[in-house]
Amino acid sequence: MEYIDFDSQFWLDINDRRNIWHFDYFACKNILGFLQSFTAVAKIPDCAEYNPGKIQAPTEYFSRKAIYDIDISLRCLIEYFEDDDCFSNEDSDMLKSSLHQLMDVLPYLNERHYKLSRYEYENYPGEMWCSFDDIRNLDRTLAKRIAPVLRDFAQCSQFPPSYFTRMYSYPKANPFERKDYEPCAEWRKALSIMAEACEWLASRENVVASDKWETVPDKVYYGLHLFAEYLPDMQND
């Protein structure tokens, strides 16, 4: 990996092209920072139980314990990247599991579902990644940060995950009809679905009602969970 000046904090600038090349790192740094800011001021239960026999809204089983697991997984990828080390399959699976849980609840990370404390925000001893108004709709704030870089990454990614190479590299009856870089084309389609999901979150209007279920199209959730599944592979190394 080429030398990177981490002191420049390029992940804070969505116009920095290094964020496209190292998109997985950019996304993890931002998700971690925004999530920490939200949890510092939000009233979230310490523990919550997922009941597979009951239909539960994501907020009913999202807890500080779950946030802790997500935090550990994000830090793991960040530290591996900064140490120029290899991200193991076990660590990758742990990150994916945590991200899937986060994507379940992401559309709910706002003031409609969590009580937020302006006092805690103004007296927080650490760094806040955004204004209190942005935290009030963190789902939209985070999506706005991720969406434009993800869209750029979707248009230029050259290294599809191994799944796409296996699934779309099969031999054709006529080899002259085979398209070049077909796995990459299918990968970019998946990336576009992810980008559309983030763009939907980033641009949706404020919902006034505080019903325990948010109205989120199935395609948006599909894109968010594609993002969770493939984020460890989303770089151009």
3-44: pLDDT as tens digits = 344 456 878 788 888 888 889 999 999 999 999 999 999 999
Quick count: other Cβ atoms within 10 Å of Cβ 3? 6
Q: Is residue 148 part of a domain?
A: yes
pLDDT of 150-166, one tens digit each?
999 998 888 888 888 88
DSSP state of 160: -
The CB-side HSE value for 205 (13 A sphere, CA atoms) comes to 3
Q: Is residue 44 part of a domain?
A: yes
pLDDT of 51-110, one tens digit each?
777 788 888 888 999 999 999 999 988 888 888 777 777 778 888 899 999 999 999 999
**pLDDT computed for residue 174 by the predictor:** 60
Q: Is residue 2 part of a domain?
A: no
Q: Please tell me the total count of domains within the chain.
A: 1
**pLDDT computed for residue 158 by the predictor:** 83
Contacts of 137 (CB under 8 A, 6+ apart): 110, 111, 206
Q: Is residue 7 part of a domain?
A: no
pTM: 0.86
How remote is the C-alpha of 117 from its chain's centroid? 25
Domain residues for the domain of 187 are: 19-233
Question: Which has more confidence, 55 or 119?
Answer: 119
- Residues 121 and 202 sit within 8 Å (Cβ to Cβ): no
Q: Is residue 12 part of a domain?
A: no
Q: Is residue 10 part of a domain?
A: no
- Residues 169 and 61 sit within 8 Å (Cβ to Cβ): no
Vertex 19: Cα angle to 88 and 236 (nearest 5) = 50
Q: Is residue 3 part of a domain?
A: no
How far is Cα 51 from Cα 233, in angstroms, rounded to an integer?
31
**pLDDT computed for residue 173 by the predictor:** 58
Q: Is residue 211 part of a domain?
A: yes
- Residues 11 and 25 sit within 8 Å (Cβ to Cβ): yes
